[in-house]
Amino acid sequence: MGMGLIGTVVAVVLMAVAAAIIFVFILIPVLKLLGKLFGHIGRTLVDIVADALRFVGSVLVIPVFMLLTVGSVVVGRWSATGHYGRAVSSEFKSAGLNLYRVAIGHPLRLIGLGLVIDGFEKRLPEVVAAAPGRDKPKGRKNQFDGYTIVGSLAGGGSGARLYIAEPDDLKLAAFERRGIADAQQVVIKAFHLNEGSSLPQIIRESRALDAAKRLGLVLEHDLTEERFYYVMRYVPGDQLTLVAQRAHADSGAHGLNDKQLRKLLGHGRDLFSTLSLYHSGGLWHKDVKPDNVVVDETGAHLVDLGLITPLRSAMTLTTHGTEYFRDPELVRMALRGVKVNEVDGAKFDIYAAAAVLYSMIENSFPAHGGLSQITRRCPESVRWIIRRGMTEYDKRYGSMKEMLADLDFVLASNDPFAVKPAELPSMKGGHVESAEPVLDENEAFLASVAAARAAHPGPAALHSPVPPKPEPHTHLGSRPRLQVTGWWSGKYRVDEQGAGKMDQMAEVAQAVMPPPPPARSVSQHARARNASEQLKSARARAKERRTRAMQRASAHRSRLRGRSRSGLNHGAAVAVGVCVGLVSIPVTLALLPASGSSTTANSGNKASVNIGNDAVSLTVGDKNISAEKTPVSYAELYDDRGRAVVLSMFSPPVEAGMKARIEDSLEALRQIGFEIVEDLDVQAELRKQRELAPSDPKQAAKSMWKWIDEQDGAYDLALVLAPAPKNKPEDPDKLVALMAGEDNYTWSIDPSLSDIVTGVMKSIGN
């Protein structure tokens, strides 16, 4: 009996324990699993229903937008047409995406096949977006004389189109006469005002071009009324990103094997060497990243000259570049308004080059900046190089040569893993002189370029848009040393070796530098005081403008964004084509000519850039605006010019041609950096001023000049576009433009666009 009871109790306890175990280890996980499963199914169903409803919503709203598009076409509201057209396009995309999700995406995710469609949803759009554009430019007039287009490349962020081309025999002969041999294929980078490029982009690129010409990277450039292009050698290779991915695929998950490591370090060496050459030439590449390094059988070549900046430029730092390969310190400095020549831009390239080395080793990007950890197989000495390159601005390598010397040391060893950081040249005190005299660098640079051009160029020189690798320096120059011989008297003597070096530098200076300016006379010094006062005043004005510019920066940017989408896009064109075709073909036919004149605000803006050896100028129509400007000061032309009050004195209805001219003038002002003030009160004040002024254009412009002066710097330009007086009532309407700035005033009767731009520049003292 007792035993039976004990047995029962034990059995119950065991069963309870078993039940608890089953509950804890089986039931709870199963329930959790079921919960997750039902949750997953529930969420997916909700998503399906939501997307289905969105699809229905899009389908319902599309016809409404199409009707609005057609209506806008009929009443001639072209801006609204573009707006509604974009909305139709957006709705079509949205509907398609929702349909795809409902029919394919969600069901596949429901059954756990989400990874299958990742390729379609993530990689496919990325690859499509990165695909090259048209293989050939549209229309005969857009071809390039002397070149046959054979392909295209994906454009970058500069708004340019990139074509691969083959020069004809005449071009090849011309290249050979200039010492450029075997340029069988070239890349043409073309900016077209009517194909999405803007003047600021062209200006930025032209600055880079001027610098690139000094490096011998640009073979030829040309301009027409509406486009600007330049020609570079073609490097038929793969981007470093792809090469690194392949190397990692070949090596395994833990990192690069010895063979691939050495190969990629070699590419890194090529990059460092090229950058060293850039810096020697006084240039900062500014956009070093794996995608801008092309690898072929001869090595790695740095491409994309779009952001090249002279190290001694007086421009303010900008934040251009690519995140993760751009030193955050650069952004901080740019925000503080630091000038390029106040920092060592080469150090930012050093950061980027180290980040590229990191990306090769890790097959990833340095998401943590200088703190990014290297988790894959990598020699400690290479880690050190990367870290020293990516550390704080004032602690990183002093020059690219120093970094290159360290990497060379690693590559020269039989086993890179055996090299300790302590053994690197930069750590042993036998480091390369970081503060190298620029003249010696120029000498080395010029010698290397000259040697490359004079001799039969090697394969690297033939296919690369970068100059050949520099020969190792046999000497690294140092500044002449002064030895003080008497502290009390201040006597000193120049070190002999240094003096010899000084002579050598002087010779090079004569060869590469412009002659020094003549010594100033006493009277010139006296005038300098006036100049400094002027400078002080100019700085005060600039500061005031900067303050105003900061206050309106956000609105200005949004306007720029809006402008970049101006005009009819593809979706709108399709929508208009379909709807108008269905509704009213005759109406469409009747309106086609109007469409041509009003949708292309740039069509009348015949601006082009002329880049000479020493100067860059802007040609608008048949007028040359700034022939005397250097590229840097030319770029300054396009800085924030201030606020312009524009007033049209034409009474509605304004004739279409005149309306287009007024709009073109506004667009031109925006293009050259003005913010158009849209305050009706201010315009009313200006109108009153104009109405009170005499009808004579000169007096009227002078009156506006006074008005601008009375505004205490609130506005920088007044532009009044009014009907010109008629001699006879039947005379056609003419335009008179009155322009007044802080410095000057002018007027022009029946001006072309270029006359207006020229007058505006004159008015503001340019």
Contact positions vs other proteins (CB under 8 A): 54, 57-58, 61, 94, 121-123, 125-126, 324, 328, 331-332, 335-336, 364-365, 367-373, 380, 384, 387-388, 391-392, 395, 420-423, 427
Residue 680, amino acid:
L
Beta pairing partners, 299: 296
Minimum distance from residue 118 beta carbon to other proteins (Å): 8
Nearer to other proteins (CB atom), residue 427 or residue 578: 427
Beta pairing partners, 192: 227
Minimum distance from residue 541 beta carbon to other proteins (Å): 22
Minimum distance from residue 395 beta carbon to other proteins (Å): 4
Minimum distance from residue 380 beta carbon to other proteins (Å): 5
Nearer to other proteins (CB atom), residue 31 or residue 130: 130
Show Cβ contacts of residue 17 under 8 Å, excluding neighbours closer than 6 positions. Answer: none
Nearer to other proteins (CB atom), residue 354 or residue 637: 354
Nearer to other proteins (CB atom), residue 138 or residue 336: 336
Nearer to other proteins (CB atom), residue 361 or residue 625: 361
Minimum distance from residue 122 beta carbon to other proteins (Å): 4
Minimum distance from residue 514 beta carbon to other proteins (Å): 38
As to burial, measured by CB atoms within 10 angstroms (0-12 exposed, 13-18 middle, 19+ buried), residue 163 is buried
Strand 674-677 relative to strand 642-648, pairing: parallel
| Cβ–Cβ < 8 Å for 81, 69 | yes
Minimum distance from residue 332 beta carbon to other proteins (Å): 6
Nearer to other proteins (CB atom), residue 347 or residue 469: 347
Minimum distance from residue 389 beta carbon to other proteins (Å): 11
Angle between helices 400-412 and 380-390 (to 10 degrees): 170
Minimum distance from residue 404 beta carbon to other proteins (Å): 18
Nearer to other proteins (CB atom), residue 355 or residue 760: 355
Show Cβ contacts of residue 449 under 8 Å, excluding neighbours closer than 6 positions. Answer: 215, 216, 467
CA gap 408, 641 in Å, rounded: 48
Nearer to other proteins (CB atom), residue 423 or residue 433: 423
Kindly compute the dihedral angle of the four CA atoms of residues 666, 672, 678, 679, in this order, to the nearest 10 degrees: -130
Minimum distance from residue 546 beta carbon to other proteins (Å): 12
Nearer to other proteins (CB atom), residue 18 or residue 64: 64
Nearer to other proteins (CB atom), residue 36 or residue 123: 123
Minimum distance from residue 408 beta carbon to other proteins (Å): 19
Minimum distance from residue 544 beta carbon to other proteins (Å): 17
Q: Compute the Cα dihedral for 498, 499, 501, 506 and give only its sign.
A: positive
The C-alpha angle with vertex 501 and arms to 497 and 505, in degrees rounded to 5, equals: 170
Counting DSSP H helices and E strands in the chain, the numbers are 26, 20
Minimum distance from residue 359 beta carbon to other proteins (Å): 11
Is 606 strand, coil or helix? Answer: coil
Within 10 A of 423 (CB to CB), how many other CB atoms are there?
14
The residue whose two tokens read 């009348």 is 604
Nearer to other proteins (CB atom), residue 122 or residue 726: 122
| Cβ–Cβ < 8 Å for 355, 325 | yes
As to burial, measured by CB atoms within 10 angstroms (0-12 exposed, 13-18 middle, 19+ buried), residue 756 is buried
Minimum distance from residue 334 beta carbon to other proteins (Å): 9
| Cβ–Cβ < 8 Å for 213, 270 | no
CA gap 356, 727 in Å, rounded: 70
Minimum distance from residue 695 beta carbon to other proteins (Å): 47
CA gap 706, 46 in Å, rounded: 67
Nearer to other proteins (CB atom), residue 98 or residue 648: 98
| Largest Cα span, the chain | 135
| Cβ–Cβ < 8 Å for 399, 346 | yes
CA gap 325, 460 in Å, rounded: 26
The residue whose two tokens read 């020269």 is 412
Nearer to other proteins (CB atom), residue 371 or residue 656: 371
Angle between helices 28-75 and 570-583 (to 10 degrees): 60
Nearer to other proteins (CB atom), residue 391 or residue 504: 391
The residue whose two tokens read 């049209």 is 648
Nearer to other proteins (CB atom), residue 122 or residue 570: 122
Single out the residue of 308, 272, 288, 277 nearest to residue 467, CA to CA. Answer: 277
Tokens of 225: 């009324």
Nearer to other proteins (CB atom), residue 177 or residue 395: 395
As to burial, measured by CB atoms within 10 angstroms (0-12 exposed, 13-18 middle, 19+ buried), residue 546 is middle
CA gap 620, 755 in Å, rounded: 8
Nearer to other proteins (CB atom), residue 259 or residue 557: 557
CA gap 157, 655 in Å, rounded: 38
Is 362 strand, coil or helix? Answer: helix
CA gap 638, 145 in Å, rounded: 30
Beta pairing partners, 166: 148
Three-class secondary structure assignment of 145-157? CCEEEEEEECCCC
Minimum distance from residue 367 beta carbon to other proteins (Å): 4
Minimum distance from residue 102 beta carbon to other proteins (Å): 14
